[in-house]
């Protein structure tokens, strides 16, 4: 994300998450991603780097209240799961293309998904 200039940040309201992540997957499938956990106590940790995005799916509270990231079709287990997300931000560049997502979960852990 350091090469990209962020023009705007927008919080995605919880009631739009299912639709937002479905559209996000369709618009960004195949783009290379970096997944980073930001932790003030242990430091930042890169979990995924230069892997193609396959899907990012939100399961609402009755179905588990989790956000699941896959980098391959039918990936079992998924590449990464965020349990109990509570805040989602998207960052866009000057052309309106999403360059990053920030997800904060119920324990206030911060996950950043950067797109190349």
CATH code of 64's domain: 2.30.29
Mean pLDDT per 10-residue run, the chain (116 residues)? Answer: 66 96 97 91 87 95 92 84 96 92 93 95
The residue with tokens 């106590």 is: 41
- What total number of domains does the chain contain? 1
Burial class of residue 55, CB neighbours in 10 A (0-12, 13-18, 19+): buried
Residue 18 CA to its chain's centroid (Å): 13
Question: What range does the domain containing 23 cover?
Answer: 8-115
Q: What is the pLDDT of residue 44?
A: 87
The answer to whether residue 17 sits within a structural domain is: yes
Q: What is the pLDDT of residue 5?
A: 66
The token pair that represents 74 in the structure block:
């039918």
| Radius of gyration of the CA atoms of the chain, in A | 13
The answer to whether residue 40 sits within a structural domain is: yes
How far is 73 from 64, CA to CA, in rounded Å?
A: 21
Q: What is the pLDDT of residue 1?
A: 40
The answer to whether residue 29 sits within a structural domain is: yes
């Amino acid at each position: 994300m350091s090469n990209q200039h962020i023009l705007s940040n927008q919080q995605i309201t919880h009631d739009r998450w299912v639709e937002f992540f479905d559209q996000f997957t369709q618009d960004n499938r195949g783009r290379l991603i970096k997944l980073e956990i930001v932790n003030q106590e242990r430091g930042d940790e890169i979990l995924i780097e230069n892997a193609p995005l396959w899907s990012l799916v939100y399961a609402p509270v009755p179905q588990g209240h989790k956000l699941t990231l896959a980098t391959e079709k039918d990936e079992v287990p998924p590449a990464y799961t965020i349990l109990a997300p509570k805040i989602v931000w998207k960052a866009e560049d000057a052309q309106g293309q999403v360059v990053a997502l920030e997800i904060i979960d119920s324990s206030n852990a911060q996950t950043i998904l950067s797109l190349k």
